[in-house]
Amino acid sequence: MKRFLMLFFFLNSYAMASDLYPFHTVNHQKQFQYLMNSFRCVVCQNDSLATSDADIAHQLKQDIYVMVKNNASNDVIKQYLLQRYGNFILLKPPLITETYFLWFSPFVLLLLGGWIFLSVMRK
């Protein structure tokens, strides 16, 4: 009986679940998922829009959902978000002058650390 109740509640909750962002085509669904994982939440900086529960993230998801439903391309949606939030919204920022430090500092620090380590070991 216990197993039956567990199975009943599990199947009932599964049947009651609804898709928050329903699409008519699989391509739109895939595009939406790709975009959700490409942009950062502006509040919780280490989360993508897909994983964030912040209010602004929900609003951005809704905005992107509407644009995808209206057949907007990824580039149009990206430009819209870049105009509003700048490069900060991208989870993978582009390699431009402003982001050189972000991209190259780990390598410089690794080389510097290796050089210091070898200097100390030789003495």
Give the per-residue pLDDT at 10: 60
Give the per-residue pLDDT at 67: 94
pLDDT, tens only, 7-27: 556 655 544 444 677 778 899
Give the per-residue pLDDT at 27: 92
Closest CA to 90 of 80, 78, 74: 78
DSSP for 77-118, written as a single string: HHHHHHHHHGGGGBSS---SGGGHHHHHHHHHHHHHHHHHHH
pLDDT, tens only, 30-68: 999 999 999 998 888 788 888 888 899 899 999 999 999
**Phi, psi angle pair for 74, to nearest 5°:** -60, -40
> What value does the mean pLDDT take over residues 93-112?
84
> 46: which DSSP letter?
T
